[in-house]
Amino acid sequence: DPAAPGIDPRRLTDLLARERAAWTEGRPKARALHERAKLSQVHGTPQHWMNQFPPPVPLIVDRAAGARLYDTDGHEYADFGLGATAALWGHNHPAVVAALRDQLDRGLTTLWPHEDHVWVTEELGRRFGLPFWQFTVSASDANRFALLLARVATGRQRILVFHHAYHGSVEQTCAVLTGSGVAAPPGVDPNGVDVRQTTKVVEFNDLPALERALEPRDVAAVLAEPVMTNGGAVIRPDPGFHAALRDLTRRTGTLLVVDETQTIPAGPGGCTGELGLEPDLITMGKCLAGGVPAGVYGMSDSVAAATARYTATGDGGLGSTLAGGALAVRAMRAVLGEVMTERTYTHMNRLASRYESDVDSVIAHHGLPWHVGRLGGRVSYAFTPTPPRNAGQVYSGGGSAVREALWLYLANRGVVLNGMSGAALFSPMTEEADVDLHGELFGAVIAELVGR
């Protein structure tokens, strides 16, 4: 992986070695726990891919509160990772905690509907514009069921995703474009699902390629993030892209599924609300129940009719025993009713835009050919001189060693970013002082890396 443009590779190597050593040195308890974990967990982490996070020994959490993490060795961090949006409202938002405390005495899960389910589906309809909703345990499941229903509704088998999109652990969506066509992403064994059979892939913002892919009318659904957040950047649709995407999908009888899982920081109705989108299905999860596992998918009248057909005889394989469990639905009601408000977004946007301008002024000061992007309460940078238009541009820029160095430098001094992408998220519990600290540290680490 080449160093990001503008960075001195020798300085980067030295800084990385120093910060790795400092991290490991300062965490004897985490080291011992990690050694124990290696005997009962793949790679010594509870989910195998966590071993790709930057620190050589995992950050082992003792507790989390507000927008802060406290590790097992006594270190405290301002948490801008926020569980990759699952903790977007902060780790113990008072409204969520009060709802959960109350629900603990009223039953955790019953496999019967509660009043809260009706309140939540009505509210989702009001915010996101689709009439019918169902519950899942995760956003991955919401995507899995949305794609299945799109196949049922259209009688077609294939799906289309954008290059390097991530939609969760949904096998047929893990596909990228290569010189020789569609393939599993680098590092994913092609012997899982043969994505050449299931999936078409085009670059985001590439309308001619999209049209060519949909014209044979064999694609059940396009599954898309409305603004791409994976690939460690904010990748915005070109002006007119969404209108053309909707037009092309309608014209070819293809359903449009909008995945809002990572774009809830854009506004109280996600990007669907902010950009006025009209998808056939919407999927989301993560932060909806304030950290309790939960997902939902919304659908149009005609997809709802297909759902009713598919499941008319009983077991349809859609759903899970714990989907829409009482605890999750009570928490969702608290989040939608009391947390996901204009006031919350005003705070998130204000701090996120300060953070964005701190990063922007350091980039400008050193003349680095980097770009910082913001989507409401989410900020991340790409190692491209102009705003990236697709994930191909982001990945060809390299820079993973720089991301690792920045993560470690900041974390060794009390600031945690997302372990995978380096993105920062802003919660209603994030404090001004956390943003100040990040701004100072970011200025210092870049000065060291460029040698000025």
Q: For ligand PMP, give the closer residue by CB, 167 or 389.
A: 167
Ranges of H-type helices in 259-399: 270-275, 301-310, 326-334, 342-366, 391-396
H or E stretch covering 201: strand 199-202
CB of 390 to ligand PMP, least distance (A): 16
DSSP, residue by residue, 211-232: HHHHTTS-EEEEEE-SSB-TTT
Kindly state the smallest distance separating residue 313's Cβ from ligand PMP, in Å: 28
Question: CB neighbours (10 Å) of residue 378?
Answer: 27
Q: Does 272 bind ligand PMP (CB under 6 A)?
A: no
Distance, CA of 69 to CA of 64 (rounded, Å): 4
Cβ closest to ligand PMP, residue 177 vs residue 292: 292
139 binds ligand PMP (CB under 6 A): yes
Q: Does 264 bind ligand PMP (CB under 6 A)?
A: no
Among 138, 272, 400, 418, binds ligand PMP (CB under 6 A): 138
Judged by CB under 6 A, the residue of 231, 285, 373, 397 near ligand PMP is: 285
Q: SS3 of 236, please?
A: coil
Query: What are the distances in angstroms from CA 180 to CA 164, 174, 220, 231?
Result: 16, 16, 23, 21
Compute the chain's Rg from CA coordinates: 22
Determine which residue in the list 166, 204, 297, 442 makes contact with ligand PMP, applying CB under 6 A: 166
The alpha carbon of residue 5 and the mean position of all alpha carbons in its chain are separated, in whole angstroms, by 26
Per the structure block, which two tokens stand in for 32?
Answer: 């011992």
Stretch binding ligand PMP (CB under 6 A), from 14-22, 164-172, 178-186, 353-361: 164-172
Distances (CA, A) of 295 to 190, 207, 396: 28, 30, 33
Q: What's the CA gap between 284 and 260, in Å, rounded?
A: 5
Give least dist CB 14 to ligand PMP, A: 33
- When asked if residue 168 is in the footprint of ligand PMP (CB under 6 A), the reply is yes
Region for residue 418 given its phi and psi (left: phi exceeds 0; alpha: psi -120 to 50; beta: otherwise): beta
Shortest Å distance, C-beta 416 to ligand PMP:
17
Taking every pair of Cα atoms in the chain, the longest distance, rounded to a whole number of angstroms, is 70
Asked if residue 259 binds ligand PMP (CB under 6 A), the reply is yes
Distance, CA of 430 to CA of 428 (rounded, Å) = 6
Candidates 201-209, 254-262, 367-375, 411-419 — which segment interacts with ligand PMP by CB under 6 A?
Answer: 254-262
Establish how many alpha carbons lie within 13 A of residue 390's alpha carbon, considering only the half-sphere containing its beta carbon.
15
Query: Is residue 290 a contact partner of residue 331, using CB atoms and an 8 Å limit?
Result: yes
Per CB under 6 A, 23 contacts ligand PMP: no
CB of 225 to ligand PMP, least distance (A): 5
For ligand PMP (CB under 6 A), the number of binding residues is 14
Interface region with ligand PMP, contact rule CB under 6 A, candidates 47-55, 258-266, 323-331, 369-377 = 258-266
Among 199, 254, 261, 412, binds ligand PMP (CB under 6 A): 261
167 lies in the binding site for ligand PMP (CB under 6 A): yes
Q: Within positions 202 to 231, which residues make up the interface with ligand PMP, using CB under 6 A?
A: 225
User: Of 167 and 200, which CB lies nearer to ligand PMP in the complex structure?
Assistant: 167
State the nearest-atom distance from the C-beta of 168 to ligand PMP, in Å: 3
Among residues 68, 127, 242, 286, the one that binds ligand PMP under rule CB under 6 A: 286
> Which residues make up the interface to ligand PMP (CB under 6 A)?
84, 138-140, 143, 166-168, 225, 259, 261-262, 285-286
